[in-house]
Amino acid sequence: MARTVVITGCSSGFGKLLALHLARRGDRAYATMRATKGKNAAVAAELSSIAAREGIDLRVLELDVSSTDSVDAAAATVLAESGAPDVVINNAGVMYFGFTEAFSTEELAAQLDVNVLGIHRVSRAFLPAMRQRGRGLMINISSIAGRLAVPFFGVYHASKWAVEGYSLALRTELACTGVDVVVVEPGPFETELFGQSPRPADADGRGQTYPGIAHQTFTQLGAAFEGMFSDPGTPTDPTVFVNDVSALIDTAAGQRPFRTVVGVDAGVRERNAAVEPFDAGVLAAFGLTGFATLATGSD
C-alpha cells in the first residue's frame, strides 16, 4: 500500500537515501530540507531530476526544522496536497563534538534547537491532522548516543537523551489516538554527520587548559571513528539503516517496538531489552497501563 511519508533532513545521508528508496518502492515521499534555493539547491535539483526521470512521486520541499514558520509552511503544503501523512520521519540533526565545557551556552542551545526543538516543531505541525484521522506513524531518529555517554559528545548526548524521553512520553500520550511514535537508534554510519560536526568556538580557551591525556584521547577517538568507517566488516553502510526503517514502516500498527537499534550498537540492544520491563512498570505503578497500548487502525 502506497503511503505519504514526510522526511526531514534530506539534503544528504540517511534522509536523502531514505526518500529515494521509499519513492522508488511506490510511496509518495516528501524530501524536505532547508535552503532549497541556497546551499542545498544542487541536491534539491538532483532529487527533482531523478523523480522526473524515473517517474516516482518524490517531492522536494523547503523545511528548516529550526524555524517554526518554515515547518508550518511545509506542513500546510503537505496537508493541502496529500492530507495527513501516513508517516513522519524526524531525521534532521547535527552532532556537536568537543570538550563539553568549551561549548558556549549559545552553542548548546543551537544543538538542542535542531535535534530536540526541531522534532517538537514538526510534531506540532503534523500531529493534529494525524490524530484527527486516527492513525499514523512518527519515527524520531535518535542514536545509540541517546542510551550511553562517552567523552567529548556531551552536548550531542544531551540532545539525544532528550529525544528519547520526549518520544517515550509522546508515545504514551498518543497511544489512545491511534498515532504511533517510535525511535530509531543508529550507531556510527558512513554519512556526513561526523565529518561536519561543529566544534566549540571556545573563545576563552577552556579546552586548552585540560591535561594532555584528554587531548590525546580526543584525537584517538576521532581516529577510531574513521577506522570504523573504513573497516568492511563493520556494518556502517547507510543502506542498512534504510532497509531497517522501511521494515519498521511496514510492521503492523501495535507491533512495532519503541526502540530499534541499527548498525553498531555498543551493547545498547541489551540495555534496551533490560529496561523495557522497567518502562512498562513505571506506567503500571502510576496506573497508566492504558497508555501503553496503541489504539490500532490501519496505517
Question: Could you report the per-residue pLDDT of 190-213, keeping only the tens digit for each?
Answer: 766 566 789 999 999 999 999 999
How far from the centroid of its chain's Cα atoms is residue 237's Cα?
A: 17
**Which member of 30, 156, 159, 167 is catalytic?**
156
**Which member of 142, 143, 159, 167 is catalytic?**
142
Whether the per-residue pLDDT at 264 is higher than 90: the answer is no
Phi, psi angles (nearest 5°) of residue 48: -65, -40
**Which member of 30, 123, 143, 160 is catalytic?**
160
pLDDT tens-place string over residues 58-103: 999 999 999 999 999 999 999 999 999 999 999 999 999 999 999 9
43 CB contacts (<8 Å, ≥6 apart)?
A: 11, 12, 16, 33
Give the global pTM. 0.94
Distance CA 81, CA 162 (A): 32
Q: Which conformational region is residue 95 in: left (phi greater than 0), alpha (psi within -120 to 50 degrees), or beta?
A: beta
Whether the per-residue pLDDT at 176 is higher than 70: the answer is yes
Exposure string over 248-286, b if 16+ CB within 10 A, otherwise e: bbeeebeebebbbbbbbbbebeebbeeeeeebeeeeeee
Q: What are 140's strand-pairing partners?
A: 90, 183
Per-residue confidence band for 228, with pLDDT thresholds at 50, 70 and 90: low
Whether the per-residue pLDDT at 298 is higher than 60: the answer is no
CATH number of 4-292: 3.40.50.720
- Kindly tell me the burial class for residue 175, based on how many C-beta atoms sit within 10 Å of its own C-beta (0-12, 13-18, 19 or more): buried
Per-residue confidence band for 17, with pLDDT thresholds at 50, 70 and 90: very high
All three cell numbers of 267, joined, read 551493547
What is the reported pLDDT for 231? Answer: 65
Which residue type is seen at 83? Answer: G
Distance CA 187, CA 193 (A): 12
Which residue type is seen at 52? Answer: A
Active-site annotation holds for 160: yes
What is the reported pLDDT for 292? Answer: 94
Active-site annotation holds for 11: yes
How many other C-beta atoms can be found within 10 angstroms of the C-beta atom of residue 299?
21
What is the reported pLDDT for 200? Answer: 96
Q: What are 138's strand-pairing partners?
A: 88, 181
Strands (E), 63-163: 87-90, 136-141
Active-site annotation holds for 142: yes
What is the reported pLDDT for 195? Answer: 64
What is the reported pLDDT for 97? Answer: 92
Contact in structure between 3 and 248 (CB atoms under 8 Å): no
Taking residues 255-265, what's their average pLDDT? 95
Comparing CA positions, the residue from 120, 103, 15 lying closest to residue 66 is 120
Which residue type is seen at 127? Answer: L
More confident residue, 37 or 238: 37
Per-residue confidence band for 223, with pLDDT thresholds at 50, 70 and 90: confident
Contact in structure between 280 and 116 (CB atoms under 8 Å): no
